[in-house]
């Protein structure tokens, strides 16, 4: 458990935050300029905040009230930077070994062969960083951080500098990290799909303040939370792969409800996280007939949020989990939607993009 309280003022910007990060991946989510990187740098010790207290388990990294300010090298946090920051004068193997040199003897650590295997670095070991692609660099950076026997891994938008194909290449490695390594991860992102795929816990930031924090499904299903803007809104469902049909569709089981998606590359029985973008969901009061969409999930309206614009966000509790739908206020009025009413969420199979489907995952207990 990481507990962070930080107050810091720059010119024209004040960061005033407090959050807790339990085991798993905690995503600091917010627009650029919301203070995410500042916060991570404060945890890493690269920035000494005006006031604050940062405790990882029982290890006090910072306590300004008591005058404790640990230097970065004493914090034992593995930091994966946005731009990799591999050492250009060392080979990949030496870069990986670098963190291990300084790790305390006897600290629980990953061994090199396992990390090399997990991140697929075998063929790269004797190369130098300049001979690596962006995605390869980030994989090495992840391995280097992991091998330094960290108490916590920090990742500051590690995919932001990569193109979409490279992002799709790296994201599964973070999923493996989350599922196979016991080290908690603090992950900075402004991408809703990254949050949906990785987050165990979400801490949403806006203008230097924590807007909301809690388990991922809860925060992402809350229509009031929109740090990435309404276009980025979407809830996350957990579903188990049941069957791959011959017509190219994969049938999944989401809390007892069937879900059909375009072919998902995962074995039967695998549990996946699926992000359903709010603007891809259609609501219907009655079960629709003669509709092309394959997925219809019955539920009850949990909340309706309207703003100044023409749009409204409707949260629907289904057996599969909470679903968010972005529709118009006019539709809310026309359908006469109100909290507690029964309703159907209609989702086109092809609306779910491959990048919205996360890899193997054991569902964490969520309150």
Partner 1 sequence: MTDWLGPAEWQAVALSLRVSFWATLVSLPLGIAVAYALARWSFPGKQLVNGIVHLPLILPPVVTGYVLLLTLGTQGPVGGILADWGIVLAFRWTGAAVAAAVMAFPLMVRAIRLSIEAIDPKLEQASATLGAPPVWVFLTVTLPMALPGIIAGTILAFAKAMGEFGATITFVSNIPGQTRTIPSAIYAFLQVPGGEGAAMKLVIVSVVVAMGALLLSELLARRVAARVGGA
Stretch in the footprint of partner 1 (CB under 8 A) among 65-73, 157-165, 271-279, 348-356: 65-73
44 touches partner 1 by CB under 8 A:
yes
Give, rounded to a whole angstrom, the gap between the first and last alpha carbons of the chain.
17
- Cα pseudo-dihedral 168, 171, 176, 181, rounded to 10: 160
Q: Does the footprint of partner 1 cover residue 83 (CB under 8 A)? A: yes
User: Which residue's CB is nearer to partner 1, number 11 or number 71?
Assistant: 71
Question: Counting runs of H as helices and runs of E as strands, what totals does the chain give?
Answer: 8, 21
| Stretch of residues binding partner 1 (CB under 8 A), selected from 51-59, 77-85, 179-187, 355-363 | 77-85
What is the distance between the alpha carbons of residues 197 and 275, in angstroms, rounded to a whole number? 7
Residue 63 phi, psi (nearest 5): -150, 90
Q: Are 336 and 345 spatial neighbours (Cβ–Cβ below 8 Å)?
A: no
Told to check if 87 binds partner 1 by CB under 8 A, we report yes
Among 53-61, 124-132, 187-195, 298-306, which window interacts with partner 1 (CB under 8 A)?
124-132
Per rule CB under 8 A, is residue 126 in the interface with partner 1? no
**41 or 295: whose CB is closer to partner 1?**
41
What sign for the dihedral angle of Cα 210, 211, 216, 220? negative
C-beta of 44 vs 204, nearer to partner 1: 44
Q: Pick the closer one to partner 1 by CB: 10 or 87.
A: 87
- For residue 164, the minimal CB distance to partner 1 (Å) is 25
Of positions 145, 316, 325, 332, contacts partner 1 by CB under 8 A: 145
Contacts 24+ apart (CB under 8 A), 178-183: 178/24, 178/25, 178/361, 179/360, 179/361, 179/362, 180/118, 181/110, 181/146, 182/23, 183/78, 183/146, 183/150, 183/151, 183/152, 183/153
Is 102 a binder of partner 1 (CB under 8 A)? Answer: yes
Binding positions for partner 1, rule: CB under 8 A = 44-46, 71-79, 81, 83, 85, 87-89, 98-99, 101-103, 128-131, 144-145, 148, 154
């Amino acid at each position: 458990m990481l507990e962070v309280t930080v107050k810091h003022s720059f010119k024209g910007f004040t960061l005033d935050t407090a959050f807790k990060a339990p085991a798993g991946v905690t995503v600091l989510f917010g627009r650029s300029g919301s203070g995410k990187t500042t916060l991570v740098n404060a945890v890493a010790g690269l920035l000494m905040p005006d006031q604050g207290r940062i405790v990882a388990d029982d290890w006090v990294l910072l306590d300004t009230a008591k005058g404790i300010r640990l230097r970065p090298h004493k914090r034992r946090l593995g930091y994966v930077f946005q731009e990799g920051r591999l050492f250009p004068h060392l080979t990949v193997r030496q870069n990986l070994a670098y963190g291990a040199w300084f790790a305390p003897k006897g600290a629980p650590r990953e061994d090199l062969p396992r990390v090399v295997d997990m991140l697929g670095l075998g063929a790269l070991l004797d190369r130098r960083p300049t001979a690596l692609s962006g995605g390869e660099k980030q994989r090495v950076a992840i391995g280097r951080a992991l091998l330094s026997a960290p108490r916590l891994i920090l990742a500051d938008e590690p995919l932001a500098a990569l193109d979409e194909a490279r992002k799709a290449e790296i994201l599964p490695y973070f999923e493996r990290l989350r599922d196979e390594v016991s080290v908690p991860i603090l992950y900075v992102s402004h991408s809703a799909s990254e949050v949906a795929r990785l987050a165990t816990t979400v801490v949403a930031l806006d203008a230097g303040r924590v807007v909301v924090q809690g388990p991922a499904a809860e925060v992402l299903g809350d229509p009031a939370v929109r740090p990435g803007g309404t276009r980025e809104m979407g809830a996350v469902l957990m579903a188990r792969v049941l069957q791959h049909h011959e017509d190219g569709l994969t049938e999944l089981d989401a809390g007892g409800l069937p879900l059909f998606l375009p072919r998902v590359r995962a074995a039967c029985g695998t549990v996946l996280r699926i992000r359903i973008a709010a603007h891809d969901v259609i609501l219907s009061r009655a079960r629709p007939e003669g509709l092309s969409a394959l997925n219809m999930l019955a539920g009850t309206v949990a909340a309706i949020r309207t703003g100044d614009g023409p749009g409204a966000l409707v949260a629907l509790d289904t057996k599969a989990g909470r679903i968010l739908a972005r529709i118009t206020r006019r539709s809310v009025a026309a359908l006469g939607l109100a909290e507690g009413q029964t309703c159907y969420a209609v989702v086109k199979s092809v609306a779910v993009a491959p990048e919205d489907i996360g890899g193997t995952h054991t569902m964490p207990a969520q309150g």
